[in-house]
Amino acid sequence: MTDARTRIDETVKGHDVVLYMKGTKDMPQCGFSSRVAGVLNYMGVTYQDVNVLADEEIRQGIKDYSDWPTIPQLYVKGEFVGGCDIITEMTLSGELDQLFEQHAVAYDKDAAEKIREANA
């Protein structure tokens, strides 16, 4: 069995978009995870979800991997983007759209605009 850091590294580098979260994209188990998964789901982003509640090594390991103390954590093309507050701010400012475009990650631009309109 490989260690948590190796498994995390393989997951982050093996998928364009990865969300480490409490619960799953279909059944988030905390409000912060639900918010980020909700944004990604609404925007139609294809992503790998990793339920940290299912594996204590991954739950602690992802915090060590990113040097970030909280979950959820979003990765795009192998790079740590941020947690709930950062993803929320990036969504509302349009920075998340730009990040997806820079990395050729497909998303629904109209849905992203609707999120901004609803929060204006």
- Binding site members for [2Fe-2S] cluster: 30
Annotated binding site: 30
46/104 Cα distance (integer angstroms): 12
* Nearest to 40, CA basis, from 57, 14, 21, 63: 21
- Looking up tokens 């740590």, which residue turns up? 80
105/2 Cα distance (integer angstroms): 29
Alpha carbon 33 to its chain centroid, in Å, reads 8
Asked if 7 and 63 touch (Cβ cutoff 8 Å), the reply is: no
Tokens for 65, please give them.
């991997």
